[in-house]
Amino acid sequence: MDDKFDCIIVGGGIAGLSAALTLARSNMKFLLVERGEFSGAKNVSGGVLWGSRLADLVPDYWQEEAGFERYVRHRRLTFLDDQSAFSIDFKSDHFNEQPYKGLIVLRSKFDNWLAGKVEEAIAESSYPEDSFIATNILVDTIIMESGRAVGIRTGEEEFHADVVIIAEGVNNLLTRQVGLQDNYVPADYMATGVKEIIRFDQNVLEDRFQLDGNSGLTNEFIGFASDGVEGGGFLYTNKDSVSIGLVLNLKSMRENLSQDRKVYDILSHFKSHSAVKDMLRGGEVVEYSAHVVSTGDQRALPRELYTDGVLLAGESANLLLNSGKAIQGMDYAMESGILAAETVAEAKAKGDFSKNTLKEYRKKLDDSYVMKDLRNFQSAVQFLHSHEMFTSVPKVVNEFGRSFFTVDNKPTPKTPAMLKDAVSKHSSLWNMIKLGIKGARSL
């Protein structure tokens, strides 16, 4: 074996695996190093893989026992106050079309499945014996020579390559090591995600959530769920379980949590809401996990996404958008992984791995929906920081819901009067108008 690779990928999450699959199909010789026992072993995600890009990597993936749990057919956004739940609900057969536009996944399964696809692609490539996925190995250092990355160090061993794709995820130590990101990222740009998997009898799950075949539900929650902390809750249906959890802003957590009130208490609080309890009745908690996640604030992006011999893909570059409609971290990881690998293949054809060639990656990303959306929806990211969004708005919405849907033996006020009453109880008309305009502009 020639001991130099065309490319080394650090991290076998979605970004790293998407890059690897693309490299294998471009007949490149590469090494992917993953610190977990297998791809997915260290990953936490809610999670929905949005978009249909997977079908480009694995055509007709839905025809096999693929790594996904269910496709998204039913979406719901729920405002919670102490007593009530007011939902915007959308279910459509247009979601039944393949390739699906959203897949509910469990990462330990999905990433492992995708890694299997990489192995298949390696076997069919020009380097079946010389490209590898190596698991259970932690990359300590990116080896730099004269300001250029030339390989990686893991313990005592060194591996060399023309270029390194760093796809290490949100705890981006190597990204910082190569100088692309400052050590300090303000807590306001970061969140903590906590998640439980609650298992059910599959028939019970399908009846309770009206799931047909492989179809699934995504439900996001605002208000009571985060108990005064900036953030929200989610519930996604898997095959025979639900993923339920919270994504909470780190700075707001520091300000609102104490010795006596931990993240787990907020999750218990969320689960204690009667509407949520109804959904979880009879289920058994089988897994609990927590992980840092970016908020989608573009100020958290590294100063650049490439340097000599290095490209950053996925959340190692904080590529994630939480616009309120969805968290998009996995599809951004997939897209950026593919584009990084395509850039590497072009650099190889040119025989130049300097930043002068690798800057093409930035251009590709800028031209893609990833950077376009990330820029266009920054006001939505800021909008989600509005204190009213997770405090007064859910209360106003539910106050109104209670009046509107209650029929009693009393004279019924007209709807605008109900709305005015609900607003005046929990906020002010001026505040709600300002928020409404901000929301309409940002989305």
Ligand X SMILES: Cc1cc2nc3c(=O)[nH]c(=O)nc-3n(C[C@H](O)[C@H](O)[C@H](O)COP(=O)(O)OP(=O)(O)OC[C@H]3O[C@@H](n4cnc5c(N)ncnc54)[C@H](O)[C@@H]3O)c2cc1C
Q: Are 315 and 372 in contact (CB under 8 A)?
A: no
- Contact window for ligand X (CB under 6 A) among 123-131, 166-174, 268-276, 392-400: 166-174
The pattern of x and - marking residues 8 through 27 that bind ligand X according to CB under 6 A reads --xxxxxxx-----------
Helix (H, G, I), strand (E, B) or coil at 327: strand
Tokens of 392: 């007064």
Parallel, antiparallel or unpaired: strands 102-105 and 68-80:
antiparallel
Nearer to ligand X, 11 or 216 (CB): 11
Helix (H, G, I), strand (E, B) or coil at 241: strand
- Contact window for ligand X (CB under 6 A) among 143-151, 209-217, 310-318, 393-401: 310-318
Sign of CA dihedral 272, 277, 281, 287: negative
Tell me which of 331, 364, 374, 384 binds ligand X, using CB under 6 A: 331
- Contact window for ligand X (CB under 6 A) among 53-61, 315-323, 343-351, 412-420: 315-323
Nearer to ligand X, 42 or 117 (CB): 42
Helix (H, G, I), strand (E, B) or coil at 222: strand
CA distance 304 to 310: 11
Q: Exposure of 212 by Cβ count < 10 A (0-12 exposed, 13-18 middle, 19+ buried)? A: exposed
Tell me which of 315, 324, 377, 400 binds ligand X, using CB under 6 A: 315
For position 231 contacting ligand X by CB under 6 A, the verdict is: no
Least Cβ distance, residue 414 to ligand X (angstroms): 40
Give the CA count within 13 Å in the CB-facing half-sphere of 260: 0
> In 3D, which of 26, 16, 30 has the Cα closest to residue 130?
30
For position 161 contacting ligand X by CB under 6 A, the verdict is: no
**E strand or H helix that includes residue 151:** strand 148-154
Tell me which of 125, 237, 249, 328 binds ligand X, using CB under 6 A: 328
Tell me which of 117, 271, 291, 426 binds ligand X, using CB under 6 A: 291
For position 423 contacting ligand X by CB under 6 A, the verdict is: no
Helices (H), 234-354: 250-256, 263-271, 274-280, 330-350
Q: Are 222 and 304 in contact (CB under 8 A)?
A: no
Tell me which of 31, 36, 209, 324 binds ligand X, using CB under 6 A: 36
Least Cβ distance, residue 321 to ligand X (angstroms): 9
Q: Are 413 and 399 in contact (CB under 8 A)?
A: no
Binders of ligand X in range 176-215 (CB under 6 A)? 193, 195
For position 244 contacting ligand X by CB under 6 A, the verdict is: no
Residue 428: strand pairing partners: none
Q: Are 381 and 331 in contact (CB under 8 A)?
A: no
> In 3D, which of 236, 229, 240 has the Cα closest to residue 195?
236
Tokens of 86: 């007011």
The pattern of x and - marking residues 109 through 148 that bind ligand X according to CB under 6 A reads -----------------------------xx---------
CA distance 93 to 91: 7
Residue identified by tokens 């730099």 is 144
- Contact window for ligand X (CB under 6 A) among 41-49, 63-71, 272-280, 421-429: 41-49
Tell me which of 35, 101, 325, 402 binds ligand X, using CB under 6 A: 35
Nearer to ligand X, 209 or 400 (CB): 209
Tell me which of 231, 233, 245, 296 binds ligand X, using CB under 6 A: 245
Q: Largest Cα–Cα distance of the chain, in whole Å?
A: 85
Write the CB contacts of 434 (distance below 8 Å, at least 6 apart in sequence): none
- DSSP designation for 224: G
Nearer to ligand X, 155 or 351 (CB): 155
Binders of ligand X in range 47-76 (CB under 6 A)? 47-48, 50
Parallel, antiparallel or unpaired: strands 157-166 and 4-10:
parallel
For position 162 contacting ligand X by CB under 6 A, the verdict is: no
How many residues lie near ligand X (CB under 6 A)?
A: 41
Least Cβ distance, residue 169 to ligand X (angstroms): 2
- Contact window for ligand X (CB under 6 A) among 42-50, 300-308, 347-355, 386-394: 42-50
For position 293 contacting ligand X by CB under 6 A, the verdict is: yes
Least Cβ distance, residue 338 to ligand X (angstroms): 12
Sites of contact with ligand X (CB under 6 A): 10-16, 33-36, 42-48, 50, 138-139, 167-169, 174, 193, 195, 245, 247, 291, 293, 314-316, 320, 327-331, 333
